[in-house]
Amino acid sequence: MVITDNILIIDFGSQFTQLIARKIRELNVYSRIYPHTYPLEEILKINPKGIILSGGPMSVYDENAPHIPVELLETGIPILGICYGLQLTCKLLGGKVSPASSREYGKAILSKISESELLANVPGESVVWMSHGDHVEELPAGFNLTASTPDTHFCCIENKSKNIYGVQFHPEVYHTESGKDILKNFVYGICSCTGNWLPEYFIDTEIKEIKSLVGEKKAICALSGGVDSTVAAVLINKAIGDKLTCVHIDNGLMRKNESETVVKKFRDVFNLNVIYIDAKDLFLNRLAGVTEPEKKRKIIGNTFIEVFEREAKKIEGAEFLVQGTLYPDVIESVPVKGASVTIKTHHNVGGLPEKMNLKLIEPLRELFKDEVRNAGRKLGIDEEFLMRHPFPGPGLAVRIPGEITREKIDILQQADEIYINTLIEKGVYDEIWQAFAVLLPVQSVGVMGDARTYEFVLALRAVNSVDGMTADWYRFDYDILAEISNKIINNVKGVNRVVYDISSKPPATIEWE
């Protein structure tokens, strides 16, 4: 895809780097993240309208601290340094950075000192979010101070002749009251972006490129039933029509009646050519007796590849493979040396055997989840489907710690259905980013009627998040939790105790395995 109006983000390892990219895209401006090691000559080839230097966990004076060539700061391209990015800019240009007398985390009051295009429409005083241990002690020559906080004097700085700006706080986080205005001032006022990153633009350009790429050949798509693979399939179908064949593999680890419902919808509503493969017995037989989480994931992934490869060979003339890979998948799966680290291996980034000789089409790999949903709306996919909560690639396998059996899957499917349906009935489903049940490998004593029971414990999980990188547990009304618990215990044989998980990410992950 050719993008002429873009902001380049250089990553120094901040937990908020993805959030910077998302916030810029919410302003209808394309942004992309690159490692701090990305060569200067390649950056110049991209010809970005502006560059944002992210925060990071290190000190600019640490051994092996990430850095950039000072020549980047002399290009005239508008630059905004955030936290570490501000400190590194000052250090490279001759300023002085030193450890702060006290580390500053959380909210602070920003006071404007002078007028600045970066701070246009920002109140004289506003709340900003801090997360730093060092601070700028002396500014480089040519820089001016535009705003301070009680504990950070050089909080906002600028050098208009060099087109360089810096903030010690994080404008990309929700807690910074005027953060969106500051980013908007940078990309529109300072970088002169036009705001042409829209769903319609993405869809039109992708369809043209896919048509040109595929021509009269054929493509296949592994269709899970999730939002990502569905939007990818519908988009590809718009481009090449019946030259696309979708394969849905039922691994027995889906939600209750999921495969049957999904396949019917794909065929009847989306008019997709779908092959349904019932592989439940194969997956469950291979998972028998396995308890180690990563081993379960590998069995599921390898078995999926085996089944999919077998079916793909039956489709004569198929030369392309469609995957619903998203931009966060790409970022998390490619470690940035000296900064961000790979958190986990993603099921849908690579992984299929090279001997398949299929060329990969990943039409969504530049999009975040909310952008996928926006594209789906423009493609005519219904809102109820688009707003479904995320579902993991390995399915219920990561929600059944310990050995997986048909009995456990049946119990979890029933409980999860009750849980989700109750959230919908109570009107809170759309308030939650992801909700699901986990069947624990723990049994507890209970009393049902006059009989003593010894049955499974079920954990409920509900979190809110922007992109899954961080998450906080959802604060339920206790009456809703009580109703869900009663329904599950009264209707699902095998469960006599329900608990609610109130762990945030970090330190916990969203899924249990």
Active site residues: 83, 170, 172
Which residues have CB under 8 Å from 208's CB, separation 6+?
Answer: none
Give which of 471, 444, 439, 466 is closest to 22, Cα–Cα. Answer: 466
Tokens of 197: 């990153």
Strands 144-148 and 96-112: antiparallel
Question: Three-state SS for 483?
Answer: helix
Tokens of 236: 């590809």
CA 255 to CA 411: how far, in whole Å? 11
CA 159 to CA 418: how far, in whole Å? 59
Q: Kindly tell me the sign of the dihedral angle through the C-alpha atoms of 329, 335, 341, 347.
A: positive
Asked if 460 and 437 touch (Cβ cutoff 8 Å), the reply is: yes
DSSP for 121-157?
Answer: T--SEEEEEEEEEEEEEEPPTT-EEEEE-SS-SSSEE
Tokens of 404: 């997986």
Q: Residue 381 carries which side chain, given as an amino acid letter?
A: I
- 386 HSE (CA, 13 A, CB side): 18
Asked if 120 and 136 touch (Cβ cutoff 8 Å), the reply is: no
Tell me which DSSP letter residue 203 carries: H
Find the helix or strand (DSSP H, E) in which 307 lies. helix 293-312
Strand partners, 480: none
Give which of 393, 234, 244, 220 is closest to 304, Cα–Cα. Answer: 393
Find the helix or strand (DSSP H, E) in which 482 lies. helix 478-491
Give which of 121, 95, 96, 101 is closest to 180, Cα–Cα. Answer: 121
CA 16 to CA 131: how far, in whole Å? 11
CA 456 to CA 400: how far, in whole Å? 11
The label of the residue with tokens 């003593």 reads 452
Asked if 163 and 143 touch (Cβ cutoff 8 Å), the reply is: no
Q: Residue 228 carries which side chain, given as an amino acid letter?
A: D
Question: Three-state SS for 438?
Answer: strand
